[in-house]
Structure 1
Amino acid sequence: MMHRFSLVILVLTICGVRCRMAKAEENVYTLASVREDLIRQEDTIIYGLIERAKFPSNSHTYDEKYAQIPGFSGSLVEFVVKNTEDVQAKAGRYTNPEENPFFPENLPPTSVPSYPFSQFLHPGAASININKSVWKMYLRDLLPLLATSGDDGNYAQTAAADLSLLQAISRRIHYGKFVAEVKFRDAPQDYEPLIRAKDREGLMKLLTFASVEETVRKRVEKKATVFGQEVGLDSDNDGKGKSKFDPTVASRLYKNWVIPLTKEVQVEYLLRRVD
């Protein structure tokens, strides 16, 4: 009898801890906290740009006819991303609402115990994934700006660098769901009429702050300049050597794609918010 009573207490305690964890996480996302997270994500993206810029274009990495992998149809970069996502799905990566796979079709279920992530977002958030647009932008627009022409044979390493950078950019863009939720909770009276009217243009206007966007672009370019410089022991020469990549690429990435796609995610999220 005592053993059964102890078991009940243990179960209730575990449930209580999990409930408190989930409840505590409800209050993690604030306008200040999401801005801090977005600023930290800038660092990750810039380091990803530096890593990818180490390699030339290495076009075979993206050529479906080159790889010819038995049992697989696609390019080497697709092979690396799909198989990595399969492993990461089993490890529980995509149970985190901040993560969105590039190839969500037929992903295996997690093989590890699920963490009780906060239910901060509206359930409609799960249906928003614009990684197809991110993928197209990356291959068509960003790589020609970032990678010099040439071929050094490091195709697997190139694909690995692509994977890291793609995931960092994707996470930043889809973080717009959290930004939108925080903004909605702060001023529902401003958003609800536009949402119910399905006014995409009005929502986009409400979400756009040109001065803030300009500040982000300038900060990103400055970070890219600092992080990308060659640092030596002679402090007089710091910042005067060759840069690891063109820092304006980081600014253009944010201006032309990251910021617009993030706002697209925000609008898509808000349109589902009062369903």
Structure 2
Amino acid sequence: MGRERAEALSPYQSKPMVSRPLFYTFSFLSFSCLCSCKQLQEMASQFNLESVREFLTREEDSIVFSLIERAKYPSNLPAYDPSYSTGGALRNYSLLDLFARETEAVQARAGRYRNPEEIPFFPKVLVLPLVPAVHSQVLHPASASVNASNAIWKMYFNRLPQFTAKGDDGRYALTAAADLVCLQALSRRINYGRFVAEAKFRDAPKDYTSAIRAEVDLSDSPFFSFPSYFLMFLQDRDALMRLLTSAAQEETVKSRVKKKAKVFGQDVTVNNISKNESSRPKYKVDPDVVVHLYGDWVIPLTKLVEVEYLLHRLD
């Protein structure tokens, strides 16, 4: 979508915060982030596979609701036009790019990215937070930076036509805001694969250590050519993928997500009288689209994050 990682600082970084409403907003967000960090500190001692599954289940609600909110607006393609910004360091940025950059900068000031569960899409424009880091270290330091942010951004826009109607109602700012909520919910869920991998590793350290240390000999591969004295080995990603995959669990997740999309996406009326006269209910977002989003993208990307995390777990 014409998006590039920014080298320049946000134009708002050097401006003093003199607005009273803005001050109150920062104060509220800072307090919220401090509370969140305190919760993270308490959760660290209770970190296990069960707590990880509970988190992922709650994130399903956030994702489904955010998709429903975005579906309120048509495609509104001008919001993604890279020619929206044509001047200075912000050249070739769409409205969504600019909105996401500036929103993440404000949220970073309030401490959002002190939370290891949150990963920004534009890390180079973040400002220093106003709150200290008060959370315990759960992730292995060598693997903690693993993320799929670029893939999530591209995936979202590839899927956007499936849950939005064609059209243009001119409400581009609201559209960009709804997009960012969706993107952040998807990012939180997919990049939480780092925590999933850590929990699985702690639950079965011997099994995962063996899989991490397993190697694939590429010396006989028809795609590579090496001198006879040189052997090429790579870590066996497939072995890790097989170990962490549970087909039954994935089907359970997809079934639950489909049901949530049906329940959350219904039009609620008095006395259960539907405005839709057809026998087939009409949903704000097609439940099958949500299932395919999970089955084709969310779950596979989460597992790729898990594998990448585990490959560096012993570093």
- Confirm whether residue 62 of structure 1 aligns to residue 80 of structure 2: yes
The equivalent residue for 1:123 is 141
Provide the rounded CA distance (Å) in 2 between the counterparts of 1:241 and 1:152: 26
Extract unaligned runs of 5+ from structure 1.
1-19
Pair 1:21–1:111, CA change in 2 (3 A): closer
TM-score, scaled relative to structure 2: 0.76
Provide the rounded CA distance (Å) in 2 between the counterparts of 1:83 and 1:69: 16
Shift of 1:79: 0.4
The equivalent residue for 2:197 is 180
The equivalent residue for 2:312 is 272
The equivalent residue for 1:34 is 52
Instruction: Check conservation: 1:53, 1:244, Cα contact below 8 A.
Output: yes
What is the CA RMSD across the aligned residues, in angstroms? 2.0
Provide the rounded CA distance (Å) in 1 between the counterparts of 2:302 and 2:94: 27
Extract unaligned runs of 5+ from structure 2.
1-37, 215-234
- SS for the counterpart of 1:273 is coil
Pair 1:241–1:234, CA change in 2 (3 A): farther
Instruction: Check conservation: 2:267, 2:274, Cα contact below 8 A.
Output: no
Count, aligned residues? 254
Provide the rounded CA distance (Å) in 1 between the counterparts of 2:166 and 2:242: 39
- Confirm whether residue 220 of structure 1 aligns to residue 257 of structure 2: yes
The equivalent residue for 2:33 is none
Which residue identity does 2:250 align to in structure 1?
A: E
Which residue identity does 1:203 align to in structure 2?
A: L
1:37-80 CA-partner distances (Å, limit 9, x unpaired):
10100000000000000011100010111354665220000001
1:95 to 106, 109, 114: 114
- SS for the counterpart of 2:166 is coil
The equivalent residue for 1:207 is 244
Bigger proportion of residues as helix: 1
Pair 1:157–1:24, CA change in 2 (3 A): closer
1:142-187 CA-partner distances (Å, limit 9, x unpaired):
1011111110001000000000010000000011111111110010
Which moves more between the two structures, 238-247 or 174-183? 238-247
Which residue identity does 1:82 align to in structure 2?
A: R
Provide the rounded CA distance (Å) in 2 between the counterparts of 1:199 and 1:82: 37
2:184 to 160, 163, 167: 167
- SS for the counterpart of 2:268 is coil
- SS for the counterpart of 1:216 is helix
Shift of 1:25: 3.6
The equivalent residue for 1:77 is 96
Instruction: Check conservation: 2:144, 2:194, Cα contact below 8 A.
Output: no
TM-score, scaled relative to structure 1: 0.87
Provide the rounded CA distance (Å) in 2 between the counterparts of 1:126 and 1:194: 19
- SS for the counterpart of 2:142 is helix
